[in-house]
Amino acid sequence: MNKVEVEALSRRFGEMYAVRDLSFTAGQGEVFGLLGPNGAGKTTTIRVLSTVIAPHEGTARVNGYDVRTHTREVRSSLGVLTTEIGLYERFSARENIAYFARLYGMAEEEIAPRIDYLLDLLDARDFQDQRATGLSTGMRQKVAIARSVVHDPPVIIFDEPTLGLDVLASQTVRDFIADAREMGKTVILSTHDMHTAQRLCDRLAVLHQGNLVAYGTPEEIIASAGGEDLEDAFVKLVEGP
């Protein structure tokens, strides 16, 4: 069953297309990669899927809900981790997560056990009561991840989740994504890290200058573009053979 469906999606800023005629699907229990250099349109696609901005043409559905007409249902179905990890600095890690749990409409009695579960999963218990202002990048990323999935959404979108993280923290994030797939979640992973993409993604879409230039499993993309691995194939797709 497809949890994310994007059909002929276009979004302009002024006269310029950030994304043009993009189509792809991502199924339940699948990690779907969105690859592309800076300015390829990955973040715009994520913003359209998360209803922060509306598409100009085409449509997209998340968990069966249209991003234009059912914005609240779409946002309830989604957990989004953005590239820039913004936390409320005067709030503790736990308070940051709890605030979002309440905004997602979780019952008060469900919040504490869910946060405990996520903090254990992400190995973040030690700093749960520390104010965000004193947290390291890795700690902040763990809080941001917990915040984005606190409501246990069926679809998770991670935009550069390992950016700026050390090896151990990156591994925690990768394990989290793998666990999410095991639990039947749909994960859209936007990343520059080709090794992570090749290892984790079941299927991929490669974007370049707002256009879809490749779509399929990592093996299919490597085979069609040529090269030893996904990184080679990506360079060939973006820069030409």
User: 227 — phi, psi (to 5°)?
Assistant: 115, 165
Q: Please, which residue, 148 or 191, has the CB nearer to other proteins?
A: 148
Place of tokens 């901005």: 53
Rounded to the nearest whole angstrom, what is the least distance from the CB of residue 206 to other proteins in the complex? Answer: 21
Q: Please, which residue, 80 or 233, has the CB nearer to other proteins?
A: 80
Q: Report the alpha-carbon distance of residue 163 to residue 153 in Å, rounded.
A: 23
Which residues in this chain contact other proteins in the complex, by CB under 8 A? 13-14, 18, 47, 50-54, 71-72, 75-76, 78, 80, 82, 84-91, 99-100, 102-105, 144, 147-148
Q: Please, which residue, 132 or 194, has the CB nearer to other proteins?
A: 132
Rounded to the nearest whole angstrom, what is the least distance from the CB of residue 43 to other proteins in the complex? Answer: 9
Rounded to the nearest whole angstrom, what is the least distance from the CB of residue 240 to other proteins in the complex? Answer: 25
Q: Report the alpha-carbon distance of residue 44 to residue 50 in Å, rounded.
A: 10
Instruction: Report DSSP letters for 42-110, one per residue.
Output: HHHHHHHHTTSS--SEEEEEETTEETTT-HHHHHHHEEEE-SS----TTSBHHHHHHHHHHHTT--HHH
Q: Please, which residue, 85 or 197, has the CB nearer to other proteins?
A: 85
Rounded to the nearest whole angstrom, what is the least distance from the CB of residue 8 to other proteins in the complex? Answer: 21
Rounded to the nearest whole angstrom, what is the least distance from the CB of residue 13 to other proteins in the complex? Answer: 5
Q: Please, which residue, 11 or 203, has the CB nearer to other proteins?
A: 11
135 torsion bin: left (phi>0), alpha (psi -120 to 50), beta (else): beta
Q: Report the alpha-carbon distance of residue 194 to residue 202 in Å, rounded.
A: 13
